[in-house]
Each structure stands twice: as structure tokens, then as C-alpha cells.
């Protein structure tokens, strides 16, 4: 309750100062105040292209400026309220809140070696693994479609039919079908390859298999896909191992968590012990 009253009083004081400052010529002063303290400019300075890319790769639809606003705003507000409250209550000013604020900034840093950066990286890896899994499923569905010696669906129509079954590739498959229909199959597949990293493990194999198959008649296409069955199976096997490797990394973190918590608890106990000794020496 005291904190709420303090915030209300400070807000009223700031508003009173602004009213006094603009009392001479309200319109001009108001315009001048907005030009100097434009909140939109302040928010735009918090935009970070690298952070925005990390958030999008992780699947978070959050503007980087909002992320940074929360990251910096919450610790600053915490420090402001804590020290104002200590001052009003005539309590001792300590460095503890500053340490807590710095720890919060470190924990929310997008650096890959800190918790938030590591989390964004792992979410991106999980998203890519699932996206690759859907790409393999798309290739399997295409294989089943072309294994029919007659009445198989044309590729662009096939893309439109199966796109709704995918969560991460729906947009790409729809655009692939549209580009194939309006331009050419080669242009559509080239565009699809560009949506994946340059060092992708098997997107070039997918492109080659589809492009070659579409250039053959039904009987030859069936024979070709049977020959490529080993490659498709190997791609699926590698994806399976990659997925379980990712789960293993997460499991290792949880296994190491109790040891890390025990270590932190020991540090806290040592600090408390030192504080008790210092208090006794003071007395």
C-alpha cells in the first residue's frame, strides 16, 4: 500500500512540474516537449536487428524493442521503487538491489553463452528440426503420389492439397505450388532451397529427386523413386538421430541442474556465515 501511495505521489509531482513548465504558452511548449521527448523515438532506439532475427528464428513473434523495453525497464523500475522506498523510510541504502538488477540483465541477455541466448538458440534448433521433419514428410507424401502409375496429382496441385497438413512448412509449400504453376518447377524448387540455410543437410537432395522425377513418365518415375529409396531412408534416419541428439542435450542440462543448485546453495551459506561473523565482530 505504501508503494502504491508513493507511485501516485511521484506521478502527481511529475505532472505538476510539466504543467508549470508549459504554463506560459501551452501549445508551443507541448509541441516542443513532444519533439524532445518523443516516446516513439525512444522505443525505436531499443530495436535490435540481431535480436529480432534471434526471436524470429526461435518462433517468438515479439518485436525486439518490446523485449528490450521489458529487459531494461523492469530492473530500472525495481531499482527506482526500492531506493525511493528506502529513502522515504529512512532505511540504509545497500548495493543489493543493484546486484539483483545486474543479474536480471545478464539472465535476459541474448548472448549465446547466457541463459536467454542459450534458450533462443535451442528453440531455433528445435524449430529447424521440426521443419526438417516436415520436409521429409513432404518428400514421403510426394513419393507416394508419384508411385501411382496412373492418375497421380500434378505437383502444383499436390502442394496445394498437402500444405494444410504442415505447421512449419505450410506457407513455403503453398508458395512452391504457386511458383511452379505460374513460373516453372525449377524456379519454384530454387526458391524453396533459398528458404533453408546454405549448409542444409538434404534440401539439395530433395530438389534433385523432385526435379528429376517430374521430368520422367509414370513408369520411369516409379523406377527412379525405388532407386532413391535408400537415400530417402538415410535422410530419415539421420533426422531421427539428430532429433534424439537434441533431446539428449536438453536432458544433460536437467541432469546438471541439481549440482549447479547445490553449488549456489553452498555459496549462499558461505556468504551468510561470513555476514554472521562480521556482525558478531561488530558487536
The C-alpha atoms of residue 141 and residue 164 are separated, in whole angstroms, by 13
Instruction: Check residue 48 and give its pLDDT.
Output: 82
Instruction: Check residue 127 and give its pLDDT.
Output: 87
Of 37-41, 72-76, 262-266, which gets the smallest average pLDDT?
A: 37-41
The C-alpha atoms of residue 64 and residue 48 are separated, in whole angstroms, by 6
Asked whether the predicted pLDDT for residue 26 surpasses 60, the reply is no
Q: 26-36 and 2-21 are packed helices; what angle lies between their axes, rounded to 10 degrees? A: 120
C-alpha cell at 250: 536438453
Summarize pLDDT for 31-67 with one digit per residue, the tens: 565 555 556 666 677 778 888 888 888 888 888 888 8
Question: For the whole model, what pTM was predicted?
Answer: 0.66
The C-alpha atoms of residue 154 and residue 182 are separated, in whole angstroms, by 14
> Is 143 in contact with 232 (CB distance < 8 Å)?
yes
Instruction: Check residue 238 and give its pLDDT.
Output: 74
Summarize pLDDT for 84-94 with one digit per residue, the tens: 887 777 777 77
Asked whether the predicted pLDDT for residue 277 surpasses 90, the reply is no
CB atoms within 10 A of CB 278: 9
Q: 185-194 and 170-182 are packed helices; what angle lies between their axes, rounded to 10 degrees? A: 150
User: Which runs of consecutive H residues, i.e. helices, occur in the chain?
Assistant: 2-21, 26-36, 39-44, 49-57, 64-88, 96-107, 115-146, 155-162, 170-182, 185-194, 203-214, 218-227, 229-282
Instruction: Check residue 121 and give its pLDDT.
Output: 86
3 state SS of 275: helix
Instruction: Provide the greatest CA pair distance for the chain.
Output: 95
Instruction: Check residue 273 and give its pLDDT.
Output: 79
Amino acid at each position: 500500500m505504501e508503494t502504491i501511495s508513493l507511485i501516485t505521489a511521484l506521478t502527481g509531482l511529475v505532472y505538476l512540474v510539466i504543467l508549470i513548465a508549459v504554463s506560459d504558452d501551452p501549445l508551443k511548449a507541448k509541441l516542443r516537449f513532444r519533439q524532445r521527448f518523443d516516446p516513439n523515438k525512444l522505443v525505436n532506439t531499443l530495436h535490435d536487428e540481431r535480436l529480432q532475427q534471434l526471436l524470429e528464428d526461435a518462433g517468438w513473434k515479439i518485436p525486439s524493442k518490446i523485449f528490450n523495453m521489458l529487459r531494461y525497464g523492469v530492473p530500472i523500475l525495481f531499482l527506482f521503487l526500492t531506493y525511493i522506498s528506502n529513502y522515504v523510510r529512512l532505511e540504509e541504502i545497500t548495493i543489493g538491489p543493484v546486484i539483483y538488477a545486474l543479474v536480471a540483465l545478464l539472465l535476459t541477455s541474448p548472448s549465446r553463452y547466457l541463459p536467454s541466448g542459450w534458450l533462443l538458440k535451442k528453440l531455433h534448433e528445435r524449430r529447424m528440426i521440426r521443419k526438417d521433419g516436415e520436409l521429409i514428410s513432404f518428400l514421403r507424401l510426394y513419393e507416394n503420389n508419384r508411385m501411382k502409375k496412373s492418375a497421380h496429382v500434378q505437383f502444383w496441385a499436390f502442394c496445394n492439397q498437402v500444405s494444410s497438413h504442415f505447421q512449419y512448412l505450410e506457407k513455403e509449400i503453398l508458395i512452391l505450388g504457386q511458383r511452379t504453376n505460374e513460373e516453372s518447377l525449377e524456379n519454384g524448387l530454387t526458391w524453396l532451397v533459398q528458404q533453408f540455410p546454405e549448409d542444409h543437410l538434404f534440401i539439395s537432395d530433395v530438389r534433385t529427386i523432385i526435379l528429376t522425377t517430374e521430368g520422367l513418365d509414370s513408369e520411369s518415375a516409379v523406377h527412379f523413386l525405388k532407386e532413391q529409396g535408400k537415400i530417402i531412408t538415410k535422410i530419415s534416419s539421420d533426422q531421427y538421430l539428430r532429433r534424439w541428439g537434441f533431446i539428449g542435450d536438453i536432458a544433460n542440462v536437467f541432469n546438471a541442474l541439481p549440482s549447479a543448485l547445490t553449488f549456489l546453495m553452498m555459496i549462499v551459506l558461505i556468504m551468510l556465515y561470513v555476514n554472521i561473523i562480521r556482525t558478531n565482530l561488530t558487536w
